[in-house]
Structure 1
Amino acid sequence: MPLGGPRAGHHGCVPSHEIDTPRGSARVQVTEPAGAPAALLVLGHGAGGDVGAPDLTAVHDAAVAAGVRVALVTQPYRVAGRRAPAPAGHLDEAWTAVVAAVREDGLPLIVGGRSSGARVACRTAYALGAAGVLALAFPLHPPGKPERSRAGELPADLPVLVVNGDRDPFGVPQAHGRVEVAVRPGAVHDLRRDLPGTAEIAVGWLRRHGWAP
């Protein structure tokens, strides 16, 4: 069952709750829309960042305003005060536990996040039974190493929206299967350029799939 949260507004005012996971305590902030939610969007942060990243904030606020319940997840290593990310398997385990704690039967589940958080969402989407994935600044490869592609992590059989800047040193994935790619002109990995435009693209995708009114 979901953890109750305040309605609408900036997520900085939303109280957080700690959730025990196999990899330590994670933190989650859940914001309710003004009316009954049409879907649940769960978002994770980047490797060295947090849920206050500008692109996550913009998408959170726009999605809540559009009638979506949004949960922001802080991984246990960040709750413990570490910046170096945990191994991929540990991230996936913790994420899966948090999503299980906040999801609600009958409400479409959309998983996502930025950078490392987008990778976690992609890797776990099938196992969680997610309806779709929202990937902000998906890091296609390490900078300068295009041969180390992570394109295989994108679930081609689910609706996926990738939003990347055209100047992102981590690369830009190609659309394939049900994976859509929205390229933001002039934006780098932090997606700070035209945040309202990025949020509008994300909400438009949610609406096209019936996950927002």
Structure 2
Amino acid sequence: MARATRLEVATAKGPGELVLERPSGVPRAVLLLGHGAGGGVDARDLLAARDTALASGLLVALFTQPYRVAGRRAPAPAAQLDDAWLDAVRAVRGRRGLRRLPLVVGGRSSGARVACRTATAAGAVAVVALAFPVHPPGRPERSRLPELDGAGVPALVVQGERDPFGLPPDAPGRRVVVVPGADHALRRGEGLVTQALPTFLDDVLGT
């Protein structure tokens, strides 16, 4: 059974919240995950990633952004999300025994965008993007693909075949796993997360 620790994270826009869960043995890396714009860290695909990473020997940290802690559904501006996320990275790194562990970052939808935009600043070795919103529905000309391309580290993307936010292409350093018949919610996609994540983690962590 994972051991959970709940922490408040001080940010310029109010407190965020981290829930840290440890694997049964000594962790070999850290996976930090963020939620979507209108949801929380209890999304089924995030929990599938958490459980899979724990079984693969990673410590998992789930971060709730300050606007959600405050009870608001409308997301904060991108710069505020990024700053709060980096505060969460520093909070995780400040925990005893975690500073030198490899860091993998990720999340679903908006959380995946934040993880990609800040991967270099966070010192991450990889990104896990669940339901990355490539563009607003019906607006392919407003592409957010540069955020995914610009992560600068290997990326695993799990995307619904019918996601109205688009489907990113395969690219060097990027592995795209398509969930047949799924939309942005990635329903029925948990099994593919569970299948794809261990191999990806082994590849990027060198074990």
> Normalising to structure 2: TM-score of the pair?
0.93
> Bigger CA drift: 23-32 or 169-178?
169-178
User: What runs of 5+ residues in structure 2 fail to find an aligned partner?
Assistant: none
Cα displacement (A) at 1:105: 2.3
Quote the residue 1:29 is aligned against.
19
> Bigger CA drift: 67-76 or 99-108?
99-108
User: In the alignment, does 2:180 pair up with 1:180?
Assistant: no
In the aligned structure 1, how far is the partner of 2:68 from the partner of 2:152?
Answer: 31
In the aligned structure 1, how far is the partner of 2:198 from the partner of 2:111?
Answer: 19
Identity %: 55
Cα displacement (A) at 1:157: 3.2
Quote the residue 2:73 is aligned against.
83
> Bigger CA drift: 172-181 or 27-36?
172-181
> Bigger CA drift: 168-177 or 40-49?
168-177
How many residues were matched structurally? 202
Q: 2:187 aligns with which of 159, 172, 192?
A: 192
Contact 1:21 1:94 survives alignment (8 Å): yes
User: What runs of 5+ residues in structure 1 fail to find an aligned partner?
Assistant: 1-6
In the aligned structure 1, how far is the partner of 2:80 from the partner of 2:166?
Answer: 25
User: In the alignment, does 2:53 pair up with 1:63?
Assistant: yes
Alignment of 1:1-213 (within 5 A): 8=2, 14-103=4-93, 104-154=98-148, 155=150, 157-210=152-205
- AA aligned opposite 1:83: R
Deviations 1:69-96 (A, max 9, x none): 0000000000000000000000000000
When residues 121 and 45 of structure 1 are mapped into structure 2, their CA distance, relative to the original with a 3 A threshold, is: same
Which aligned segments of 4 or more residues in structure 1 are displaced greater than 3 angstroms? none
Cα displacement (A) at 1:20: 0.3
Cα displacement (A) at 1:15: 4.7
In the aligned structure 2, how far is the partner of 1:37 from the partner of 1:125?
Answer: 21
